[in-house]
Amino acid sequence: METQQSKAMDDSETEQEGLAETIMARRFYPSVLGSEAWEGYTFSDLEIRIKESTDLYGAVLWPSAMVLCHFLETNRDEYNLTDKNVIELGAGTGLVTIVSSLLGAKVTSTDLPDVLGNLRYNVMRNTKNRCKYIPLVTELFWGPEAEQRFPRATHCFDYILAADVVYAHPYLEELMDTFDHLCQANTQILWAMRFRLDPENSFVERFRQRFHLEELYDLPSLRIKLYRAWTKAEGTKGRGEAAA
């Protein structure tokens, strides 16, 4: 006989699968291809067109970005981005930057120099005349550069957004230091994480030693989790409450 506990687990798995399907259904493809290839997404009741290329990690849109955008759009009362200072790390093709800008945030969108051209193009194409604040697209190589480009005395972010920035690359420590540097007393990190190999798991464990970590979504079919995190530094409010 089915126990109450196994029924609850089945219900939650079905719910998660439904959520994963809903999120992935936000992507559509143009029925008629013109001279330029793009993929379409719908967020904030608007069509967003993203141009990808296949030669770089950051030139492709990864499912984690869609998960984070879905969360931001469907939780906009609790995580109200209007007029908030937001920085995105590893913005890639720019969907998260675009959706947060459409939701009213002042966004600084960062990535490596090689992907900035395409990122800037997508961001401008999808935010022009649609957003309260024009997003700033700028270079950031994780590590010491974060301190030089965004000194804590003059740059205070309400949110740090990141989608699929942890994988088998050689800059995981620099990424951790960048989160650490940018995350101040009232900053919240919203981070969508795709699990592939061991480096991802050990990064989460090391991250948990430095930050408070809360799991917001667990989507096994996509192997993605969405986390909220905030600093453990002494003298802070402790729970990184959503900025008012």
Point out which residues bind ligand SAM (CB under 6 A). 57-58, 61-62, 64-65, 90-93, 111-112, 115, 140-142, 163-165, 169, 171
Min dist CB 7 to ligand SAM, Å, is: 35
* Cβ proximity to ligand SAM, 48 vs 140, nearer residue: 140
* Cβ proximity to ligand SAM, 109 vs 188, nearer residue: 109
Going by DSSP bridges, is the β-strand pair 211-219/224-231 parallel, antiparallel, or unpaired?
Answer: antiparallel
* Cβ proximity to ligand SAM, 139 vs 241, nearer residue: 139
* DSSP one-letter code for 125: H
Question: Nearest to residue 40, comparing CAs of 53, 54, 51?
Answer: 51
Min dist CB 149 to ligand SAM, Å, is: 11
* Cβ proximity to ligand SAM, 170 vs 235, nearer residue: 170
Min dist CB 77 to ligand SAM, Å, is: 25
Q: H/E/C letters for each residue in 139-203?
A: ECCCCCHHHHHCCCCCCCCCEEEEECCCCCCCCHHHHHHHHHHHCCCCCEEEEEEECCCHHHHHH
Min dist CB 20 to ligand SAM, Å, is: 16
* Cβ proximity to ligand SAM, 122 vs 187, nearer residue: 122
Min dist CB 141 to ligand SAM, Å, is: 5
* Cβ proximity to ligand SAM, 51 vs 232, nearer residue: 51
* Cβ proximity to ligand SAM, 31 vs 148, nearer residue: 148
Min dist CB 164 to ligand SAM, Å, is: 4
> Which position's Cβ is nearest ligand SAM?
58
Question: Nearest to residue 137, comparing CAs of 88, 84, 68?
Answer: 88
> Do residues 175 and 141 lie in contact, with contact meaning Cβ atoms separated by under 8 Å?
no
Min dist CB 238 to ligand SAM, Å, is: 29
Cα 235 to Cα 51: distance, rounded to the nearest angstrom: 44
State the amino acid at position 213 in one-letter form. Answer: L
DSSP H or E segment with residue 99: helix 95-102
Neighbours of 206 (CB within 10 A): 13
Residue identified by tokens 């067109």 is 49
